[in-house]
Amino acid sequence: MLLLAYSEDEGKLLIGGTQVDAALGGAILAELALLGRIAFVDKKVVVQDATPVDDEELNDALTRIAEDKKTRKPDWWVYKLHSWKLRKRLLTRLADRGVLGEEQVKIMGLFPSTRYPERNPSVELAVRERVQNVLSGADPDERVAVLVAVLVGCQLVRKVFPDASKARLKEITEGDWAGEAVKNTIASINAVVITAVTAGAIAGAASG
């Protein structure tokens, strides 16, 4: 999701950072659900298996959920897990692996910013191919279907796959390919993204 959210040449975000960050928080929750580590009981997130997985970010999230004294709704966790710091860590990890570059630039010659142009396009191309095959009619596996749903939820899908059929997107995002935990996670991503975007719009209008 993160690779698709940045332009290949310039390494700039294609949508707002708030949308991307919410989607990343939800993607982590969805991944834990796909791995069978969490489930939903009475519309709340519960840990089914606290066994560590082979990923630092996922393990940190799993530990936070397991150690929380309350059982929370999925949208609470999506909101809690997402942050620009998470995005920064993941971008740095991709840069360390040679998938992305990491360049310091100044906007209008004044404001410092970091860009993440692609260095190894084969990784994103492989993801794009899998998604495009599903959009063209192939049966989705759970992970690709989750990715499509996340792209729709954070309003990125039209930036990356502008020719995607609305009917096909609806078929994927509302289909029977996923269990209750993953479906609830996707709904939570959508809710958090909508809330974040609305809040940003209100704040922008107020400052204007």
Domain boundaries, the chain: 17-207
Other C-beta atoms closer than 10 Å to the C-beta of 110 total: 6
Q: What is the mean pLDDT of residues 17-34?
A: 88
What is the C-alpha to C-alpha distance for residues 3 and 1, in angstroms, rounded to an integer? 6
The pTM assigned to this predicted structure is 0.84
Alpha carbon 42 to its chain centroid, in Å, reads: 24
d(CA 188, CA 153): 9
Residue where the block lists tokens 């990890």: 93
Confidence of residue 80 (pLDDT cuts 50, 70, 90): confident
Q: What is the tens place of the pLDDT at every residue in 156-186?
A: 999 999 999 999 998 888 776 666 666 766 6
70 pLDDT tier (thresholds 50, 70, 90): very high
Q: What is the CATH number of domain 17-207?
A: 1.10.3630.10
For residue 76, give Cα distances in angstroms to 27, 65, 81, 97, 106. Answer: 14, 11, 9, 32, 36
Residues shown for the chain: 208
Mean pLDDT of the chain: 85
Nearest alpha carbon to residue 136 among 94, 184, 168: 168
Answer yes or no: are the C-beta atoms of 101 and 95 closer than 8 Å: yes
Mean pLDDT of the 40-48 span: 86
Q: What is the pLDDT averaged over residues 187-205? A: 56
Q: What angle do CA 132, 136, 142 make, to 5 degrees?
A: 65
The percentage of the chain sitting over the pLDDT mark of 70, rounded to a whole number, equals 83
CB 11 within 8 A of CB 100: yes
The token pair at 166 is 């609305």
In sequence order, the 6+-apart residues with CB closer than 8 A to the CB of 54 are: none
